Amino acid sequence: MGMQSTALPGGTWSLGDLTVSRFGYGAMQLAGPGVFGPPADHDSALAVLREAVDLGITHLDTADAYGPHITNQLIRQALHPYPESLHIATKVGAVRDRQGGWPPAREPDDLRRAVDDNLETLGVEVLDLVNLRLGDATGPRSGSLAAAFETLVELQRQGLIRHLGVSNATTEQVAQAQSIAPIVCVQNMYNLAYRHDDELIDRLADEGVAYVPFFPLGGFSPLQSSALSGVAARLDAPPMSVALAWLLQRSPNILLIPGTSSVAHLRENIGGANVSLSEEELVELDKIGR
């Protein structure tokens, strides 16, 4: 399994000592509707994961809250024992309630349990990358992350976690985490139409820290823009893949984790993300989020 990841658009990036393809895969939407329960089609969920790895993707993004547990179990079923080149990023800091909500769970005991659950459901001895997921479903919320982040640093010292990151974080929380221990990535919402983190991305690029946009295609309401469709039509590429090409060109520290439940979309997204956008096209696309 696994071609050289450099065959994928964007080449590779180093998350600490882990080399990953910049073109990754986000597994969240493999669970059932509302990221709850099992997928409608179990076998095609496994097929998407196997195809991602066969195409050379070496970075998967997940969380034990997806399903809950379902997405991690699918990853394990599809890909365990994992190829050595494959790295799986997970998140802790939120659980699911019976209504399908995402209540925060960031007390030390919650985080220890979440790390144990991820180790168990993914079937690994050490988690490659754990993001502390902050804020709530509406976005980042200000406030100290110290107690929660220090708990994860302790679990890292115990050998259960290789690298740390933060997610759904304010710029101040990113800096606060960095004052406590090194992070290798920030995973926040960002795409062509939602550009809140532009300054943060540039700062992290200078520091060699990855920025991993979630909802790179707009998430539950996929990107729709006449400027995007226009540029895509001229390039003869699917709009979604042009949105991904734009992210790859936006900054070298951006890693992609687009989601899809379809092998056809996965191939289409990779195929089209190779396009090189001209200055003129970049200016046109830049206007979408301004």
Ligand X SMILES: NC(=O)c1ccc[n+]([C@@H]2O[C@H](COP(=O)([O-])OP(=O)(O)OC[C@H]3O[C@@H](n4cnc5c(N)ncnc54)[C@H](OP(=O)(O)O)[C@@H]3O)[C@@H](O)[C@H]2O)c1
Query: Which residues make up the interface to ligand X (CB under 6 A)?
Result: 26-29, 61, 91, 133, 167-168, 187, 214-219, 222, 238, 240, 257-262, 265, 268-269
Please indicate whether residue 194 is annotated as part of the active site.
Answer: no
Residues whose CB is less than 8 angstroms from the CB of residue 81 and which lie 6 or more positions away in sequence, other chains included:
none
Of residues 29 and 118, the one with the C-beta less far from ligand X: 29
Of residues 251 and 261, the one with the C-beta less far from ligand X: 261
Q: Are strands 25-26 and 59-61 parallel, antiparallel or unpaired?
A: parallel
- Shortest distance, position 123 Cβ to ligand X, whole Å: 19
Q: Which of 25, 66, 190, 211 is catalytic?
A: 66
- Shortest distance, position 220 Cβ to ligand X, whole Å: 6
Of residues 56 and 216, the one with the C-beta less far from ligand X: 216
Token reading at 224: 């729709």
The C-alpha atoms of residue 12 and residue 37 are separated, in whole angstroms, by: 33
In this chain, which residue has its C-beta nearest to ligand X? Answer: 259
Residue pair 214/257 in contact by the 8 Å Cβ criterion: yes
Distances (CA, A) of 262 to 1, 126, 159, 224: 20, 29, 36, 19
The C-alpha atoms of residue 224 and residue 1 are separated, in whole angstroms, by: 35
- Shortest distance, position 26 Cβ to ligand X, whole Å: 2
User: Can you list the pairs that 195-202 forms with residues at least 24 positions away whose Cβ atoms lie under 8 Å?
Assistant: 195/289, 195/290, 197/171, 199/171, 200/171, 200/174, 201/250, 201/251, 201/253, 201/254, 202/251
- Shortest distance, position 279 Cβ to ligand X, whole Å: 26
- Could you list the active site residues? 66
